[in-house]
Structure 1
Amino acid sequence: MTVFHRNEKKEPLPDALKGGVVAIGNFDGVHRGHRSVLKKALSLAKARGVPALVLTFEPHPRTVFQPDRPVYRLTPAPLKARLLEAMGFRSVIEYPFDKEFSQRTAEEFVQSILVQWLGASAVVTGFDFHFGRGREGGPAFLMAAGERHGFAVTLVDAFRDENAEVVSSSRIRDLLAEGDVATSAGLLGYRYTVEAEVIGGEKLGRTLGFPTANMQLPPEVELKPGIYAVRFRTEDGKLYNGVASYGRRPTVTENGVPLLETYVFDFAGDLYGQTCSVSFFGHLRDELKFDGLDPLVAQIKRDDEEARALLSGVKPLGELDMEIAFAPDASKGG
């Protein structure tokens, strides 16, 4: 799959990708609500015999307008692209979003991007999609523009879960802030996953008999501190079960930087410098401060046993969950 990062003036779209069906949106999380839009684009592209593409924006527009309050991204760009590729999209266009771009009129957006650059034959988006300066372009504008320029427009209603509640990225973020990775997985359709480089730590876990792979997540991440049953994917695509602690390690440090520390079951080797991923299957307990290292070690052993028991019976929630948290990445030798 091709991922485009530059704007149309610097990197023309290959002819093989022009005339496709374009799904437009931020799609942070690629959750079940997003997939109602994305699957419609895929089905239209198949019926028309043209490529299916995703047009998204980097960085997230809210981060551009409120840089002091960056958005907690459920799926950073590389993970989002991997999920979209797994769904069957030919290309992801990560269009650069900045304040200058935000001042383009809705008609400029349609003409310069959808018509001239992409040559879109059809556009699929959510019913509440707005674009252009001051959000002047809405569903009615887009449909009228499609009639003028010769591309079809499909608007998809909000997707609701089994309890008739709208599935949204903000709702999933709220669940993760509560540590409810099980319910969030039901809305995502796969286990919540983070990616980061494995960095050096204080090596206390190794001293205690539980060496950990340490990752520093972006500061805007709002995952609840605590202990989780996880699956760990190495840079070469191999999967391992594990138990992870996310937080500031109150037993051994004061006001430490939040770290994700994963004890990877049945693994021996050096992970430093690798970009690995961690998928969250269950919240075991909150982060606690223990009175010394002995009770900490005793609790870690209980966490180990509980995580192994939880992970022994898990099953994939669907194709994306299989891709992210179950199937080794054969392309990387896993």
Structure 2
Amino acid sequence: MQIWTDLDQVADGPRAVVTIGNFDGMHMGHKRVVGACVERASRQGLRSVACTFDPHPRKVHDPDSGMELINPLRDRLDAMAATGLDATLVIHYDQSVYTLSAEEFVRRYLVQALHAAEVVVGEDFRFGRDSSGDVNTLRELGRQLDFDVVMVTDIEAPEGRRWSSSWVRDLLADGDVTGAARVLGHLHRIRGTVEHGHKRGRTLGFPTANLATGIEGVIPADGVYAGWLVRRVPGTEANEFLPAAISVGTNPQFGGTVRTVEAHVLGRSDLDLYGEQVAVTFVARIRGMEKFDSVDALLARMDDDLRKTAAVLGVGVSSRVDPDSVTAGTGGASARC
């Protein structure tokens, strides 16, 4: 999939079937709309193009809302590419965009830049200054400017709720990463750079990769999760998925105050990930965050967490590692892998 971040980058080509949206999280409802765009373009021999916005319009118009993007832009684009789109235009959302009238927006982006033959949108699509345009506005402009409009109706989950980004955020706030994955159609993940922590985990036999600042994506509720730590294999373009028990919270056992994400890769003491950008993918919640009567009680529960994590991920059971074998930050020969 080609990615354009400026109108000057848009490649000449045939007319296009275009879809437009924020696509935060690229959940099942988004995939239905984008999939319709791809299918209709393929059937007509046209190219399929999506338009999305960065930053998210709500973060521009209501910066104090505290809204977090479900995933960073790179993950959104990865999910969009997986649908088979030919290209995505990332529109930098600022005053030059949100002050455009509905007609000005359509002429500049859909007609002049992308040569739209069809535009595919969802039922709740709004556009133009003060969100003045809707599907009916788009249809009227299509009649004037020679493109058709296809509206994809909303789909609902079996329980009757509409697939939506807000639903995903609600599920993550409850720690229901399994439910969030069902709405998304893929596992939820966050990204960040591995930082130095208090290094308590390594002394207990549970060395962790710590993410604390600059985390991209919505962090689920405090608790322990089964999932994967995903990192780029040094010197390659390949990714490796490492089975991990993931702790989210402030570490109440030791009086912590900073909320962190700590991923312990099962059975590994030789990883030195400091400074690396990694992704943490959540598969299932093992338990909520607890404070135990003693460190021994904590260790017993963490041993159980490792067994449950291995069972969820379908990998071999691993026990605590020997603290003396941990090489992270030591400069040892096996420190990078």
* TM-score, scaled to structure 1: 0.88
AA partner of residue 224 (structure 2): I
TM-score (norm 2): 0.87
SS at match of 1:262: strand
AA at the equivalent of 2:5: H
**What is the aligned partner in structure 1 of residue 334 from structure 2?**
none
How far the C-alpha of 1:270 sits from its partner, in A, is 1.7
> Letter of the aligned partner of 1:229 in structure 2?
A
The alpha carbon displacement at 1:218 in A equals 4.0
Q: By how many angstroms is 1:280 displaced?
A: 1.0
User: What is the letter of the counterpart of residue 134 of structure 1?
Assistant: D
Amino acid at match of 1:132: G
Q: Which residue of 1 aligns with 2:3?
A: 3
Aligned partners of 1:192 and 1:287: how far apart in 2?
20
Superposed displacement of residue 71, structure 1: 2.1
TM-aligned CA deviation for residue 306 of structure 1: 1.0
Residue 223 of structure 1 pairs with residue 220 of structure 2 = yes
| Partner residue in 2 for 1:270 | 272
Give the secondary-structure state (helix, strand or coil) at the position aligned to 2:31. Answer: helix
Aligned to 2:76: 80
Who is 1:118 aligned against? 114
Q: For residues 131 and 70 of structure 1, what CA distance do their matches in structure 2 show?
A: 23
SS of the equivalent of 1:238 reads: strand
Instruction: Name the amino acid aligned to 2:113.
Output: W
Whole-Å Cα distance in 2 between the matches of residues 201 and 218 of structure 1? 15
Percent identity between the aligned chains? Answer: 34
The structure 1 residue matched to 2:159, chosen from 136, 141, 163, is: 163
Deviation at 1:12, TM superposition (A): 3.7
1:143-169 CA distances to partner (integer Å, 9 max, x unpaired)?
Answer: 111111111211111111122321111
Cα distance in 2, alignment partners of residues 258 and 288 from structure 1 = 14
Structure 1 residue 100 displacement after superposition: 3.8
Aligned to 1:319: none
The residue identity in structure 2 corresponding to 1:117 is: A
Indicate the residue corresponding to 1:311 in structure 2: 313
Q: Which runs of 5+ in 2 are unaligned?
A: 234-238, 316-336
Deviations 1:174-204 (A, max 9, x none): 0110111111111111111112222221211
SS across alignment from 2:281: strand
Give distance in 2, aligned partners of 1:195 and 1:254.
22
Q: Which secondary structure state, in structure 2, belongs to the residue aligned with residue 300 of structure 1?
A: helix
Aligned partners of 1:70 and 1:59: how far apart in 2?
A: 14
Larger radius of gyration: 2
* Cα separation, 2, equivalents of 1:165 and 1:220: 23
How far apart, in 2, do the equivalents of 1:139 and 1:247 lie? Answer: 43
Which one-letter code corresponds to 1:265 in the other structure? L
CA contact (8 A) 1:240 1:266 kept: no
Query: Which deviates more from structure 2 when the two are superposed, residues 283-292 or residues 225-234?
Result: 283-292
8 Å contact 1:130–1:139 — kept in the other structure? yes
Aligned residues: 309
* Residue identity opposite 1:264 in structure 2: V
**Gaps (5+ residues) in structure 1?**
314-333
Instruction: Provide Cα deviations, 1:215-238, integer angstroms capped at 9, x if missing partner.
Output: 136498352111001122112301
Q: Does 1:108 align with 2:110?
A: no
Q: Distance in 2 between matches of 1:269 and 1:107?
A: 55
